[in-house]
Copies of this chain bind each other. A is one copy, B any other.
């Protein structure tokens, strides 16, 4: 999946700058394993939360931010930045969540264009119901298999990659 093997015969030690730097077998293996791992992880977390509660994992993420914040009340763009979602995705999603009664809108008096998102009681109940099993699964699938050392390593690795992306030519989602 999303793979990157050399599709053609093999000019093994090429220094041709027009020839892309194909992945070595070891790199290839990491890339595939990594992708498969994160994909399974996502899928399991999504499936579990969907199956055992009334909300999706996307709802969950939104609600998490809202419970983390004073009065359960945030500006939409603040939310978008926090979640790193495109604003249009967020807009659509918030509309659906309003329809389901998980959140409400509130007018923003300081800025006539803006609007606030507020968590409702139903929303609070929903996330409180979903959270414990979710954390448990995160632990089981992600933390339990790792040693303390590996946790440290993975932290550094993630920070490295993330850091590298922040200064990348490719536009980050418009923030």
- Enumerate chain A interface residues (CB-CB to B < 8 A): 1-5, 7, 19-23, 26-27, 29-31, 33-34, 36-41, 43-45, 47-48, 57, 60-61, 64-65, 67-68, 82-84, 127-128, 131-146, 150-151, 153-165, 168, 170-173
Assembly CA distance A163 to B150 (angstroms):
15
**CB-based contact B45/A138 at 8 Å:** no
6 tightest Cβ-Cβ pairs between the two chains A and B: A20-B132, A145-B164, A3-B64, A4-B135, A37-B162, A1-B61
Give the oligomeric copy count.
2
Cβ-defined partner of A137 (8 Å) among B39, B132, B163, B170: B170
Known: A3-B61, A21-B135, A64-B5. A48 touches B170 (CB 8 A): yes
Assembly CA distance A91 to B67 (angstroms):
39
**CB-based contact A150/B151 at 8 Å:** no
**CB-based contact B84/A36 at 8 Å:** yes
Give every chain B residue within 8 A of A133 (Cβ-Cβ).
Answer: 20
Secondary structure of the A contact surface, majority rule = helix
Given A30-B154, A41-B161, A146-B157; 6 other pairs, CB 8 A cutoff:
A1-B82, A23-B135, A36-B158, A36-B162, A44-B165, A141-B164
Interchain nearest-CB distance for A47 vs B (Å):
7
Interchain nearest-CB distance for A4 vs B (Å):
4
Cβ-defined partner of A64 (8 Å) among B2, B151, B153, B172: B2
Give every chain B residue within 8 A of A170 (Cβ-Cβ).
Answer: 44, 47-48, 137
**CB-based contact A26/B141 at 8 Å:** no
Q: For residue A132, which residue of chain B has the nearest CB?
A: B20
**CB-based contact B45/A2 at 8 Å:** yes
